[in-house]
Amino acid sequence: MDFITKLPKTSTREDAIWVIIDRLTKSAYFLPIKETDSMEKLTRQYLKEVVSRHDVPVLIIFDRYSKFTSHFRQSLNKALGTQLDMSMAYHPQMDGQSERTIQTLEDMLCVCMINFRKGWDRHLPLVEFSYNNSYHTSIKASLFEALYSRKCRSLVYWAEIEYAHLTG
């Protein structure tokens, strides 16, 4: 887990993105948040967006941030029955996967910021979809394929099927 902060405020006042990565499938969740969101709100959002769709994680790794106080760690551990590992703040190689994902997300957001200015939050779900539907050499599949064992039926996929069906 990590954050991208200091983004232009959206119409709903979000100014940061919480980046959550599944270590097994490499799939990512990009959640728009406010830097001032409380621990309770972040915990509820994590339960709603990640745990409810998958399973209770066995291990959670995130960089040190003042936001993740001992209160948050204890309440999350108690609620989920998980173990918490902290990667060292000055050793990003310990959480290199997050760093690479954040770099990719920042590159994708640059395009959104150039084209859409403060409306980056409206396009974040499509950025997440694009990221999770991209091929990753480390798992030799897209993140979607790793998670669901099938190709994603995106509009491009349907266009390819229709074209193949029409041309024989």
Could you give the number of structural domains in the chain?
1
Domain residue limits at 119: 2-132
Look at residue 80 and tell me if it is in a domain. yes
- pLDDT of res. 43: 83
- pLDDT of res. 152: 83
Question: How far, in Å, CA of 56 to CA of 50, rounded?
Answer: 9
Look at residue 165 and tell me if it is in a domain. no
Look at residue 153 and tell me if it is in a domain. no
Placement of tokens 């709603």 in the chain: 48
pLDDT digits (tens, 9 = 90+) for 126-151: 888 888 888 888 889 888 888 888 88
- With a cut of 70, list the residues of the chain below it in pLDDT: 55-75, 78-79, 82-95, 115-118, 155-168
Look at residue 155 and tell me if it is in a domain. no
Helices within the chain (DSSP H only): 39-46, 70-80, 96-116, 120-132, 143-148, 155-167
Look at residue 59 and tell me if it is in a domain. yes
Judging by DSSP bridges, how do beta strands 2-4 and 16-21 pair with one another? antiparallel
Look at residue 141 and tell me if it is in a domain. no
Question: How far, in Å, CA of 36 to CA of 33, rounded?
Answer: 8
Look at residue 93 and tell me if it is in a domain. yes
- pLDDT of res. 15: 94
CATH number at residue 113: 3.30.420.10
Look at residue 149 and tell me if it is in a domain. no
Beta-carbon contacts of 51 under 8 Å, excluding residues fewer than 6 positions away, are 57, 80
Q: What is the pTM assigned to this prediction?
A: 0.71
